[in-house]
Amino acid sequence: MHTQNLPLEEQKIVKCIETLLHGTVTNVDRQVRWRRSWFVDVDTAEGEIKLYVRGDRESDVVPFPELKREADIITALYNQGIPVPKIYGMCEDPVAIIMQAVPGTRDVSQATTDEQRSSIAHQYIDAMAAVHKLPLESFASIGLDIPQGAEAVALAGLNAYMPLYLKSKSAPDPLIEFAIRWLKNNIPKHRYSPSFVAFDAGQFLFENGKVTALYDFEFAMVGDPMVDIATMAMRDSYEPTGERISTLIAYYGEITGERVDTDIVRFHQIVFSTVACMQFAGALKNPKPGDPHDVYIEWDFALRRTLLNALARKLGIEYLSPAALSSQKSSRTALDTMLIDFQSQLSDETVDQRAVKRCLGRLLAYSAKLNIYQGELDQCAMEEAIPFVGKTRNAEELDEKLEQFVLQASASHDIALLRYFSDQLSRRILALGDIELGISANHIANDILD
């Protein structure tokens, strides 16, 4: 393979792989996604090896920035018989994990029958239960914190993300602070036995009806195993698992001998939704060059709806739609026209160029909607917050005063505040739900455990 024709970054990866495996790279195929990743074929003395190279995020939105941490976790799982890719080593420049490319797909629609889809989902639950039973010594030895006591177990995720949130937070965020306060006031006191958890569960590959690997342990930690049930159920709304969540929850209880308390699962849905919003709070208020800005907006939007849905279920609040929006201003400013013209001149010959062009298009559609509705959204938010903070002059003052109110409020205000936050987000979905950055939020199920 003529590596001189490759970009410098890929030339470095090829050199690292050939040194690591004592072989010759024959093919490099960049994966088209927001995160840099590659499929690589290598000829070695033992035959051809297919690799997956998982690149670093290179961003400030991860609580565990060292990519080697994930490689060490996967190795610990592999050594204990869990179906995960084999780790061959690390590339230091650029930072990347060199791992086995496991055959299969995550798309359960490609299974041949409903029965096969159900079988795949049950196989995944078998693997999840096996992971939860692993001894914790192997994870402690690679530096994972082992929480002690009910509060530490329940809030393992929140505690892990808190330093990132406090470091990156640059503006008030009343909803996040409300969720943090609620979680600390509603800890399940009877759950104090930790397990290793993926923390972003529901990610697996299958081929010919058999699960071939679990993947993505970037956010893995030790905590309450019910967080994996919660995050698997959350993922199911846009990446189906292959079986009804209620059926899989019952099966997990059957094979583990522990009945799943859905009330605890909902608590951990709130934990995960909260920390995921915390993860992007700084990047959205203070964007960094190179961030996938459109992706962060889309994820934050969907996660806030997931968070509010879970809180509503816990507090027993019925979903109520706010009044329809009325603004009818033009959606295109002169600046928008200039940017659309600039977008049309961009080349789309390469993967990176196409990605930039798509990102710009998604952001332009988002901007056009805000031009129509942002004033009305802000006005509604200020008027409806008067019972909490009195009159405010603008959205910035509202957020500042409302966060202070949330931090000092007692639990007696929870329902009123939750209704307020739900109304504002629901109104925002009415405004943005038909563009790409809003579609994900518009498809979030009201109850992930239904």
Q: Where are the alpha helices (DSSP H) in 257-292?
A: 262-285
C-alpha distances in Å from residue 321, one per residue of 253, 347, 353, 428, 431: 36, 43, 40, 11, 13
Q: What is the pLDDT of residues 73-126, one digit of tens each?
A: 999 999 999 999 999 999 999 999 999 999 999 999 999 999 999 999 999 999
Please report the pLDDT score of residue 164 as a whole number. Answer: 92
Does residue 7 surpass a pLDDT of 70? yes
From the number of C-beta atoms within 10 Å of its C-beta (0-12, 13-18, 19+), residue 3 rates as middle
Question: Does residue 303 contact residue 271 with C-beta atoms inside 8 Å?
Answer: no
Cα–Cα distance, 450 to 446 (Å, whole number): 9
Cα–Cα distance, 175 to 277 (Å, whole number): 9
Quick check: helix, strand or coil at residue 107? coil
Phi, psi values for residue 225, rounded to 5°: -60, -20
Confidence of residue 237 (pLDDT cuts 50, 70, 90): confident
Q: Which amino acid is at 434?
A: D
100 forms beta bridges with: 51
Please report the pLDDT score of residue 207 as a whole number. Answer: 97
Q: Terminus-to-terminus CA distance in the chain, angstroms?
A: 52
Question: Does residue 26 contact residue 42 with C-beta atoms inside 8 Å?
Answer: yes
Quick check: helix, strand or coil at residue 431? helix
Catalogue all structural domains in the chain, each as residue range(s) with its CATH number. Answer: 3-100 (3.30.200.20), 108-286 (3.90.1200.10), 299-442 (no CATH)
Joined tokens for residue 207? 């081929």
Confidence of residue 323 (pLDDT cuts 50, 70, 90): low
Closest CA to 186 of 225, 154, 142, 145: 154
Please report the pLDDT score of residue 5 as a whole number. Answer: 77
Q: How many CB atoms neighbour CB 279 within 10 A?
A: 22
How many angstroms from the chain centroid is the CA of residue 198? 12
The share of the chain scoring above pLDDT 90, in percent, equals 69
How many angstroms from the chain centroid is the CA of residue 56? 16
Joined tokens for residue 97? 């994990």
Q: What is the pLDDT of residues 274-314, one digit of tens each?
A: 999 999 888 898 888 878 889 899 989 999 999 999 999 99
Average pLDDT over residues 389-405: 97
Q: What is the pLDDT of residues 121-131, one digit of tens each?
A: 999 999 999 99
Cα–Cα distance, 190 to 173 (Å, whole number): 31
